[in-house]
Amino acid sequence: MKGRLKRPPSLTERAITGFRNYFGFEERPVWIRMSHREETEGIMMLGDPGTGKSQTIHHFLLQIAARRPAEAVVIYDPACEFLKRHYDRLRGDVILNPLDQRSPYWSPSLEVRVVTDKKLVTESFLPGKSELSQASTSGFFLKAARAILGRMLEFKPTPQELVSWLSIADSIDMIVADTGNRRRRGEKPKNRINHSGAKEKDQEPAAERQTRPTKV
């Protein structure tokens, strides 16, 4: 015999089933209601796979979308499960995903405005506990990777440039060259690395070149 043996229904269960079948009663869904101000206080749903946790969230989103005036909703959806069902471009929905063509332009370098931002960006891209294991090999390489990425962000690269630099060993060597001496002197990088990995000298702004007086 295949499968698991099922427990035979008890006398009470058989009586309830017979009563429902005789009078035509069916189980009805139970509606869970909450006030509008309680929605932002946090909801935790627990259940086995297939019990309807995601379906409950879908119902929440459909009800919120039908409200007037419209309300803003932020959805963290790594599996893109809710994106397929609820995304509406005409409604003004915005996708924040660098790997999605519908996402607005974004670059990691745009997040760096002060020195401390660079540390936060590199740690978010390369997570780990390098500070707790500085003597270990993995901790050393993690700190080195963060330092290289942070150095690249100083040049304000586009995402395409950043990917190109990380894939070319010569570009990495050129970017980190003389980094220690410049940092000790407090100098900022004066060169820019183009998409191919070659250095470009800073050009004088066109407005300054036009207004500079010439010798007669």
**3-state SS record for the chain:** CCCCCCCCCCHHHHHHHHHHHHHCCCCCCCCCCCCHHHHHHCCCCCCCCCCCHHHHHHHHHHHHHCCCCCCCCCCCCCCCHHHHHHCCCCCCCCCCCCCCCCCCCCCHHHHCCCHHHHHHHHHHHCCCCHHHHCCCHHHHHHHHHHHHHHHHHCCCCCHHHHHHHHCCHHHHHHHHCCHHHHHHHCCCCCEEECCCCCEEECCCCHHHHHHCCCCC
| Cβ atoms of residues 175 and 144 within 8 Å | no
Report the 10 Å Cβ neighbour count for 153: 21
Confidence band for 26, pLDDT divided at 50, 70 and 90: low
pLDDT tens-digit profile of 114-147? 888 888 899 888 888 755 555 667 778 888 888 8
Confidence band for 205, pLDDT divided at 50, 70 and 90: very low
Q: How far apart are CA 38 and CA 81, in angstroms?
A: 25
pLDDT tens-digit profile of 31-48? 778 888 888 888 888 888
Task: Provide the pLDDT for residue 40.
Answer: 80
Beta strand 191-193 with 199-201: parallel, antiparallel or unpaired?
A: antiparallel
Confidence band for 27, pLDDT divided at 50, 70 and 90: low
pLDDT > 90 in the chain, percent: 9
Residue from 157, 46, 170 nearest 109 by CA: 157
Task: Provide the pLDDT for residue 131.
Answer: 57
User: At residue 18, does pLDDT exceed 50?
Assistant: yes
- Which residues have CB under 8 Å from 68's CB, separation 6+? none
